[in-house]
Amino acid sequence: MNVAVCVKQIPDPAGELALDPSTHTLVREGKLILDDSDSYGVEMALQLVEAAGGGEVTLVSMAPNNETSGLRTALAMGAAKAVLISDEALAGSDALGTAKVLAAAVSRIQPDLVLAATESTDGYTGTTPVQLAELLGWPAVTFAKKVEVSPDSVTVQRQTEAGYDEVVSPLPAVVTVTAGVVEPRYPSFKGIMAARSKPVEELTVADLGLEASAVGAAGARQEVISVQAAEERKAGEIVTDEGDAHQRIVAYLEQIKVL
Amino acid sequence: MDRIWVLAEQRDGEPSTVALELLAAARSFAGTVGAVTWGSGAAEAAATLGEHGATKVYDAGDVGDSLPGPRVAAAIAALIEAEGAPDALLVGQTYDGRDVAGRLSARLDRPVLTNIVGLSAEDGALVSEHAIFGGTQVLKARFTGESPGIFLIRAKSFAAEPAGGGAPEVASIELPDTGATDGAKVKGRHEEERSGPQLDEAAVVVSGGRGLGSAEHYALVEELAGLLHGAPGASRAIVDAGWVPYSHQVGQTGKTVKPTVYIACGISGATQHMVGMKGAKNIIAINKDESAPIFTIADLGVVGDVHTVLPKLIEAIKAHQ
């Protein structure tokens, strides 16, 4: 069982985030980290490969500036290798442009299964994995809260509004996993050392046989018109609990007729 | 704009709330509003869709044990082939809505604008509004390519309201066979037991965060929600930690809620959480840390320990009732 995991390297969400004033895209200078949302897919892939008794986990990522620090984190968790598509032409790519790049990369790797997060933490469009599946001509099962594999199929508990559906798909397929689906392991010291020498294949848009006009800002066919400060919600009354704050809450709930 | 289509999910003849919200938006921008629906009960749903502004309902029929994504997207693509593209397709950002929009986007080679919280018309085209950086800024965007623009819109962005429309014209459309992309099949459907209202429909939402300290203490959140006939919610931190399922998550990557009152217990107020709940009419926050960002938007902020405040609050409400 060979599993490819789509991972994204993003600016630290705990840091200061900003938009480039001219392109209105997220500023991605400096160190990028592995999106926390992706650690679940990496962990799930490692567990599925182990359960299948063989195979390996390959990371697939796209980044504007040959950034690999986030990939090293996932390699340290146990992924065998990575494919990084890095090209100036990719700046400003939207979800569909990203899916085109990932589809070309996945076609080279030919995995049995592709895992991805339901959405990234920075862009959070949540459409890339399904666009990827359509471009590959594969089935997709999104919002998985449990995943099991057999040699030729994957069984997923898929989140629904009412509960969950049990969905079975033939392989190859794309599956997106929700956070909390498994507990991601922390990279061990040995894992971190080993990750330094694991192969990261760097490819350009041309290497994948894609036209530069199909990806990046040129391919996105959308534009930001304006960015303005939102109407602010004002802070109300702040009280410090001295043993009676619950009474203040009860009074508030009475006032708004909830009680 | 001449024509806007809405992806209208329905269940047992009842359209989803977000479908009705999108119809309210669509009819304010276009004279002809089409609603694309599917599944058993679609025929019964047509009347309600008409009341809310759909002038034409396209019924793709039952998808059986298929996931809706590939086949409904193929049905819309075929419809566009036959009738021409509408100016815009509005899709609710639900589990199935995202699948349909993503599949259609790749099939038609059209981009998707996502996480939309508002729409306006400028120069005869739709402009989308997006809440970014935790809702502190509003970004406006538009498509520059060929129609249809595919708009993925978050629930609660518009108010659903009947328009007094008559019975719509109903047209059956074909659900094409999409081969391999339709390989995933639903083998069983499980409904999770829920004693109270649905999270995104509830008038009262009580949410818990990391400040609860451990998964066991989430029971306090559930008990308080139950007493107030509300729904329990959660921050991303405790969903990621595996304390509660993803379906409870409020925020950017979870549900948007706009209850009468939102009670945040041990939630610091990360931007990704606040964007999902700052539309609540009233916000009450309980947190130990007086510098927690949640206090900047709370109507009533209690600087205190949830482990002492919540049990007392629960007892006080029980006594009150």
Average pLDDT of chain B is 95
Q: Does residue A185 lie in a domain region?
A: yes
Give CA angle at B111 (A59, B160), nearest 5°. Answer: 115
B99-119 per-position pLDDT tens digit: 999 999 999 999 999 999 999
B59-68 per-position pLDDT tens digit: 999 999 999 9
Task: Select from B113, B114, B315 the residue whose CB has the most chain A CBs within 10 Å, as the one to mutate to test that interface.
Answer: B114
The string of DSSP codes covering B289-305 is -TT-GGGGT-SEEEES-
CB B286 within 8 A of CB B230: no
B165-196 per-position pLDDT tens digit: 888 999 999 999 999 999 999 999 998 877 88
Q: Does residue A22 lie in a domain region?
A: yes
Q: Does residue A251 lie in a domain region?
A: no
- Measured between beta carbons, the chain A residues lying within 8 angstroms of B205 are none
Rounded distance between C-alpha atoms, residue B106 and residue B89, angstroms: 15
CATH class held by domain B204-320:
alpha beta
Q: What is the pairing mode between strands A57-62 and A3-6? A: parallel
- Measured between beta carbons, the chain B residues lying within 8 angstroms of A159 are 95, 245-247
Our count of domains for chain A comes to 1
Contact call for A225 and B127, based on CB within 8 A: yes
A139-193 per-position pLDDT tens digit: 999 999 999 999 999 999 999 988 899 999 999 999 999 987 899 999 999 999 9
Q: Predicted ipTM?
A: 0.94
Is 90 exceeded by the pLDDT of residue B22? yes
**CB neighbourhood size of B227 (10 A):** 17
Tell me the CATH number for domain B3-182: 3.40.50.620
pLDDT band at B33 (very low <50, low <70, confident <90, very high): very high
3-state secondary structure of A130: helix
3-state secondary structure of B47: helix
For residue A197, give how far its alpha carbon lies from the nearest alpha carbon of chain B (Å).
30
Domain span holding position A190: 3-220
How would you write the pLDDT of chain A (259 residues) with one tens digit per residue? 999 999 999 988 877 788 888 888 888 777 889 999 999 999 999 999 999 999 999 999 998 788 899 999 999 999 999 999 999 999 899 999 999 999 999 999 999 999 999 999 888 899 999 999 999 999 999 999 999 999 999 999 999 988 899 999 999 999 999 987 899 999 999 999 999 999 999 999 999 999 999 999 989 999 999 999 988 888 899 999 999 999 999 999 999 999 9
If 0-12 CB within 10 Å is exposed, 13-18 middle and 19+ buried, where does residue A141 land?
buried
Q: Could you state, in order of their start, the residue ranges of all structural domains in chain B?
A: 3-182, 204-320
Domain of A174: which CATH number? Answer: 3.40.50.620
Q: Does residue A160 lie in a domain region?
A: yes
Average pLDDT of chain A is 94
Q: Does residue A145 lie in a domain region?
A: yes
Q: Does residue A252 lie in a domain region?
A: no
- Measured between beta carbons, the chain B residues lying within 8 angstroms of A161 are 94-95, 198
- Measured between beta carbons, the chain A residues lying within 8 angstroms of B139 are 19, 24, 224, 226-227
The string of DSSP codes covering B302-321 is EES-HHHHHHHHHHHHHHH-
Residue whose pair of structure tokens reads 């930001």 in the numeric block: A224
Q: Does residue A225 lie in a domain region?
A: no
Q: Which CA distances in Å does B130 have to A131, A233, B155, B303?
A: 21, 17, 13, 32
